[in-house]
Copies of this chain bind each other. A is one copy, B any other.
Amino acid sequence: MRQASETFANLPEDKRQRVLDAAIEEFAEHGFQGASMNRLAARLAIAKGSIFQYFGSKEGLFGFAFGRAVELFKGPLKAARERARGQGFFEVLRQSLLAGMEFIAKHPRIHRIYLKMLHNEDFPLRERVLGQVRAASAKYFRPLVLEGIRRGELRADLDPDLAVYVLDTLLDRFLQSLAAAPLDGGLGVFGADRATVERRAAELVEFLRRGLSA
């Protein structure tokens, strides 16, 4: 996370929050390149000069606002693993999906920025942020898979690399389906109510448990 000026640090808490919220919204709607500092200032009904006084530049604002936002992601995932402790591989999987859903439901704009960042090369910090996300995912799933094999829940000759990749892929894309209609496929989870999505998540996990082949 980049640092903001002392001026910003001295601001009252609610104003700071208002500014960061509006910034996240602007970046979520328009991406980094498309975001407009003029529009942001107008939205906030404060002078553009103030924003530059706080963060120095558009890039500085993004770094600060997004850096603060990703901090929010760490809690829920740990909680999910706690919740499902000792209930087996596939239950941990299901709980992780639910945790992801919950985070997205609570912070949809952060997720949208992440999605835009995936294929938009001109976001600042892109390499670092995406690298961290992927590394965190691998660090999360790999022990899970190894433990699953050890306990006999998963096939002994499973390729862990491939298994981690498939899990990461399916879960990440399932969460993408919640936010982007074209990725929904025939699943019907885009914009669906919570119960429907939870049911589909459980079905997906069940699907993985049973495998494909006859």
Contacts and interface: CB of A to CB of B under 8 A. Distances in A.
Interface of A: 30-31, 33-34, 112, 115-116, 118-120, 122, 126-127, 130-131, 133-134, 137-138, 152-156, 158-159, 161-166, 168-170, 172-174, 180, 182-187, 203-204, 207-214
A133 B182 contact: yes
Contacts of A155: 210-214
Contact of A173 (B122, B153, B154, B173): B173
A212 B173 contact: no
Given A169-B173, A173-B173, A212 B203 contact: no
A137 B185 CA distance: 9
Given A119-B120, A169-B173, 4 more contacts: A118-B183, A119-B180, A172-B173, A208-B212
A116 B117 CA distance: 9
A204 B169 CA distance: 12
A101 B186 CA distance: 24
Contact of A185 (B115, B127, B164): B164
Copy number in this complex?
Answer: 2
A120 B118 contact: no
Counting chain B CB atoms within 10 Å of each CB, the highest count among A130, A180, A183 belongs to: A183
A214 B152 contact: yes
**7 closest pairs, A vs B, by CB?**
A211-B211, A130-B182, A115-B119, A165-B185, A169-B173, A165-B187, A116-B119
Nearest to A122: B34
Contacts of A154: 212-214
Contacts of A170: 166, 169-170
8 contacts: A33-B34, A118-B180, A133-B182, A153-B214, A154-B214, A162-B204, A170-B170, A209-B212
B33 A159 contact: no
A80 to B, nearest CB: 20
Counting chain B CB atoms within 10 Å of each CB, the highest count among A122, A155, A213 belongs to: A213
